[in-house]
Structure 1
Amino acid sequence: MKEQTGNITRPETTIAVTRGVIRLFHHMGLNCVTELSLINGRRVDVMGLDRKGQFSVVEVKSSVEDFRTDGKWEEYLPFCDHFYFAVGSDFPTEILPRETGLIMADSYGAEILKPSLPGEMNPARRKALTLRYARHAAARLMSIGGLDAILPEEG
């Protein structure tokens, strides 16, 4: 049985919140990727990259249970300049850590309710992450049309 959040199931909530975050970040001038694997083995829900080369990481939480059973969020901090939790409007935000940023979102958009405190990333990690981000984005683009649409036919 799927867990319900109001009349929406957890997977639907996750998709809606993710979509709203991406729309917000696009409006703010950040380009986004989803499900980016980091060198520490963790996978970021949403990562945005701005024109200055700064990274924002968003951990999407679809329910209280999702938040309470997932204690890995601090492992994302060395890989971003800004960290946010993103939740739907029915999420009890008082349970989230005070030191993180907070975004409230739905399918149509999102709003930053609490800005993220700036983090620090060393230059070597920033370069490695930028390359990982670029390769992840390029791989996603290649998969959109399938290899037939991307690679020239062999003669």
Structure 2
Amino acid sequence: MAQIPLSDLQPGQVLARGTARALSALGLDCIAEMPLRPRLRADLMAIDRKGEIWIVECKSSRADFTSDRKWDGYLDWCDRYFWAVDQEFPTDLLPEGTGLFIADGYGAEMIREAPLSKLAPARRKALTLDFARAAARRLHRLCDPGAGQIGL
């Protein structure tokens, strides 16, 4: 499958692509635009071999950050919460007690690890199942693009 050129991506998608590559190198598998509940969608949700769940919110500018104040709503849906921004982003805007990646379209570097705040077992199980089902649906639609037209 052909790779989408960086020039065709929105700034947040560029950050997500580089951060997803970094997460993979750290041993996590991720899904972009993972729905959590109505009107709450994680830019990236990642899971490691032990089932720890990370959420990464990608912010491409000061205006992007200040216009979206629902970030703390993600904290109940992950074990660790991170921001992904580019080198020009004013990182002093980002709240303490969160992780940080500096990213571009080719990779990312973890600057600050997020503190661990373990999910309740029932929420972890539900999220893990949602993650698996979302991944399976996306793979199915990638392999069979017509499947979405017949309600699969």
Please tell me the TM-score bracket, short chain as reference: 0.7 to 0.9
Cα deviation code 1:22-74 (max 9, x no counterpart): 00000011001011111364100001100000001000001101100111011
Per the alignment, residue 3 of structure 1 pairs with: none
Per the alignment, residue 49 of structure 2 pairs with: 51
Distance between the aligned counterparts of 1:127 and 1:148, measured in 2?
30
Secondary structure of the structure 2 residue equivalent to 1:98: coil
Larger Rg: 1
Percent identity, aligned pairs only?
43
Distance between the aligned counterparts of 2:53 and 2:45, measured in 1?
7
Distance between the aligned counterparts of 1:69 and 1:29, measured in 2?
32
Cα deviation code 1:88-119 (max 9, x no counterpart): 11111111111111110001110011110111
Secondary structure of the structure 1 residue equivalent to 2:33: strand
Q: How many positions carry a matched residue from both structures?
A: 141
Secondary structure of the structure 2 residue equivalent to 1:51: coil
1:147 deviates by 5.2
Which one-letter code corresponds to 1:146 in the other structure?
D
Distance between the aligned counterparts of 1:13 and 1:140, measured in 2?
22
Per the alignment, residue 102 of structure 2 pairs with: 104
Unaligned runs of 5+ in 1: 1-7, 150-155
CA contact (8 A) 1:58 1:85 kept: yes
Distance between the aligned counterparts of 1:98 and 1:71, measured in 2?
15
Per the alignment, residue 74 of structure 1 pairs with: 72
Distance between the aligned counterparts of 2:46 and 2:107, measured in 1?
15
Normalised TM-score (structure 2): 0.87
Normalised TM-score (structure 1): 0.85
Secondary structure of the structure 2 residue equivalent to 1:113: strand
Unaligned runs of 5+ in 2: 1-5, 148-152
CA contact (8 A) 1:13 1:88 kept: no
**What is the correspondence of 1:6-155 to structure 2 with a 5 Å cutoff?**
12-39=10-37, 41-146=39-144
